[in-house]
Amino acid sequence: MATVLGLVLLFSFKTPDAPPDSGLPLAVANGTPTPGATSPFGPRASSRPGATGRASSPPAPGTQPPSGGDQQVDGNVVSTQFGDIQVRLVESAGKIVDIQALQLPNDRRRSREISLFSEPILHDEALQAQSAQIDTVSGATYTSRAYRASLQSALDRVQG
Amino acid sequence: MGTAISLDLRDRAVSPAAVAAMFDHLRNVDARFSTYREDSEISRLGRGEMSLHSCSPDVREVLERCEALRELSRGYFDIRAHRSDGGLDPSGFVKGWAVEAAAGILDTGGARNYCLNAGGDVITRGEPEPGRPWRVGIRHPELPDKLATVLETRDLAVATSGAYERGAHIIDPHTGREPDGLLSFTVVGPKLSVADAYATAAYAMGRDGINWIAGLAGYAGCMITTERRRVWTEEFARYAATS
């Protein structure tokens, strides 16, 4: 599997809050084959359970959890106007392998018209995205690589 | 700042010349359509220094399609609404249109599996790996490092408009104000030019935009409201990742 990542910066379109730039390409990087590249996130730093939640079996500081041993980290119960939300993170060998909803608002009914659906955005969905591998991001005005780096840094801080 | 355009190409056999031609095309469109270049055709046309029939066929095509979109959207997509000087700003259509054409250049060059992302507007083709769809995260409108939802796509265009978007500040042309009640609007469908314009128009409509999208054939939408809720059309659920 060969991967070519190219990046070019152009389209000096409407930018009210910043001076326009030349619109010339600032960077072009083509043709860098990365055989076997599959994970958009790269190697993940190990998390620190307990930083924001309760770890049921926290590892000794500075050590990897034992291979194959699952750890569960329960987030705090978060009250929203739609009801309470609580999420459990399951880690195995430093990787997030599952995110379980312990509590969810009972609010997945149809709304407004028969063709429309509605539900609240849950607190921890970025973690779900991480565990399932995102290739790119819509709505982000920076590169998906920058997005991955940002998400990675957030993950490194561990969110409960 | 310019728009970042990234290409994730998974086909080994595509020639570097095709990739170079694709980026050349984007630079060429930028030179003719940038509202920040005083010498671009679109700027000269807006100042009355050029007539429409002396513009390039591409400029005429863009303006015709923008006019059709203005009528279809009941005036919510309006390339004359965003500039106090009366100039033309078709960037809500041009970016998607240019990237769509860039994808066509890749297709002609033999590319079958790639993801092209231009400032958050995305075209996916084929698969990143055999048997796996592309996974496209939709940015959380308030938290840059989080996602509001995840889509699984093969051949699809995804466009998102939001108040956070650099330089967007989409206004309702009928009131001159930013719409209330929503934070971002994502539209998916076969063509990025159309999805991009639909997302701009639907965002300008405010919460009514989701009903407008629900009535358009071939395109689906999802808005994020100020209450941090997703509201989506029935067709949109086809693309929602289940894990």
Tens digit of each residue's pLDDT (9 = 90 or more) over B42-73: 888 888 898 888 889 999 999 999 999 999 99
* Residue to substitute from B8, B158, B185, B227, interface A, most A β-carbons within 10 A: B8
Interface predicted TM-score (ipTM) of this complex, two decimals: 0.86
SS3 B106: helix
Domain B5-239 has CATH 3.10.520.10: yes
Which amino acid appears at position A131 of this protein?
S
* Beta-bridge partners for A70: A92
Chain A residues close to B82, C-beta within 8 Å? 14
pLDDT at B220: 95
pLDDT tier, A108 (very low <50, low <70, confident <90, very high otherwise): very low
Angle between helices B57-72 and B91-108 (to 10 degrees): 120
Cβ <8 Å between B36 and A13: yes
User: If you average pLDDT over each of A3-7, B24-28, B121-125, B145-149, which comes out highest?
Assistant: B121-125
Residue A144 has pLDDT above 50, yes or no: no
- The alpha helices in chain A, defined as continuous H runs, are 125-132, 144-157
Checking if the pLDDT of A65 tops 70, the result is no
Share of chain B above pLDDT 90, in %: 47
A122-135 confidence digits (pLDDT tens)? 655 554 555 547 88
B26 touches chain A (CB under 8 A): yes
Rounded CA-CA distance B198/B205 in Å is 10
- Pick A13's closest partner by Cβ from B27, B120, B167: B167
pTM: 0.68
Restricting to B residues 67-106, those with a Cβ less than 8 Å away from any Cβ of A are: 82, 89, 91, 94-95, 98
Arithmetic mean of pLDDT over chain B: 87
Distance CA B187, CA B236 (A): 9
Quote the CA–CA distance of A65 and B130 in Å, as a whole number: 33
Spell out the domain ranges in chain A.
1-38, 54-157
- List CB contacts of B192: < 8 A, sequence separation 6 or more: B96, B97, B99, B100, B103, B121, B122, B123, B157, B159
Residue B38, pLDDT > 80, answer yes
pLDDT tens sequence across B140-161: 888 777 788 889 999 999 999 9
Nearest to B42 by CA among B5, B3, B103, B95: B95
Query: Any idea where the domains of chain B sit in the sequence?
Result: 5-239
Q: Which residue of A has its CA nearest to B209?
A: A116
Across A24-45, average pLDDT: 28
pLDDT for B180-200, tens place per residue? 889 999 999 999 999 999 999
